[in-house]
């Protein structure tokens, strides 16, 4: 089992980068997590991070559970951040205060959305809806009435349509189809999706699964990132570890 989203979360203020060490508890104590939770203290002594600021934050938060537009807005799900298996006893308002204090969030947009089949993160937002710009959101969608995800993803779509930018405008929404279901050796469905793409310098890496909808996802993501190289990354092996491309990566500022 690979445990994802355990490395530092980086924030920049007045040109100074700080690496925040949030706590990790194996997505609600589903797995052993002691070594993963200790990872950042080991990283802090490596050449890349030595001498940098890396404060410990007494709050459980995974990188995949929040999505930032880079301009003060965070997107997340109540099913994850308000789950009592993370920060039990904290209200939504108290959680928002933590995110504002440490991540500079000016506002939090909340979705009510259950996780995709096979997802053990309690509905990480990076499998569901992603900012492509401060005014554009790509999201996991479903048009197959027979798909188990159909009703819940249509409800999420309605919620996204109701969201507004800080200027009061509707977001431009880009639907990303689901690939055909992928199952493990025990016939458990795995959380394959295209919203788990990764934005890097001058390129967007898009998970693909050898599915007909790979081409659809690549085309739609390419249209909203016209100046980026769109690179397909085969991710069938990753979803067998119950995550995909964005789940197993962590971005750090350019120049590191």
User: Would you please indicate which residues are annotated as catalytic (active-site) residues?
Assistant: 247
Q: Please check whether residue 129 is in contact with residue 176, taking contact to mean a CB–CB distance below 8 angstroms.
A: no
Q: Token pair of 57, please?
A: 């934050």
3-state SS assignment for residue 52: coil
Looking at residue 228, the DSSP 8-state letter turns out to be S
Q: What is the spatial distance between Cα 134 and Cα 119, in angstroms, rounded to a whole number?
A: 27
Residues of 16-38 as b/e, b for ≥16 C-beta within 10 angstroms? eeebbbbbbbbbbeeeebeebbe
In the block, which residue shows the tokens 């002594």?
Answer: 45
CA 249: distance to chain centroid? Answer: 10
């Amino acid at each position: 089992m690979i445990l994802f989203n355990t490395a530092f979360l980086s924030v920049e203020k007045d040109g100074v980068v700080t690496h925040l060490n949030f706590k990790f508890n194996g997505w609600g104590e589903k797995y052993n997590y002691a070594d993963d939770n200790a990872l950042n203290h080991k990283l802090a002594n490596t050449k890349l991070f030595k001498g940098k600021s890396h404060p410990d934050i007494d709050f459980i938060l995974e990188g995949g559970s929040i999505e930032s537009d880079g301009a003060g807005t965070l997107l997340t799900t109540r099913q994850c951040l308000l789950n009592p298996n993370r920060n039990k006893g904290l209200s939504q308002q108290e959680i928002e205060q933590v995110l504002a204090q440490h991540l500079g969030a000016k506002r939090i947009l909340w979705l009510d959305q259950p996780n995709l089949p096979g997802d053990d993160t309690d509905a990480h937002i990076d499998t569901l809806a992603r900012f492509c710009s401060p005014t554009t959101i790509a999201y996991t969608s479903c048009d197959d009435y027979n798909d188990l995800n159909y009703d819940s993803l249509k409800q999420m779509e309605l919620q996204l349509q109701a969201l507004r930018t800080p200027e009061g405008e509707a977001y431009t929404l880009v639907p990303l189809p689901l690939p055909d279901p992928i199952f493990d050796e025990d016939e458990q469905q795995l959380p394959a999706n295209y919203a788990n793409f990764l934005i890097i310098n001058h390129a967007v890496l898009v998970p693909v699964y050898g599915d007909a909808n790979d081409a659809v996802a690549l085309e739609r993501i390419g249209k909203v990132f016209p100046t980026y190289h769109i690179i397909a990354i085969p991710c069938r092996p990753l979803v067998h570890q119950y995550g995909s491309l964005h789940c197993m990566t962590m971005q750090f500022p350019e120049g590191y």
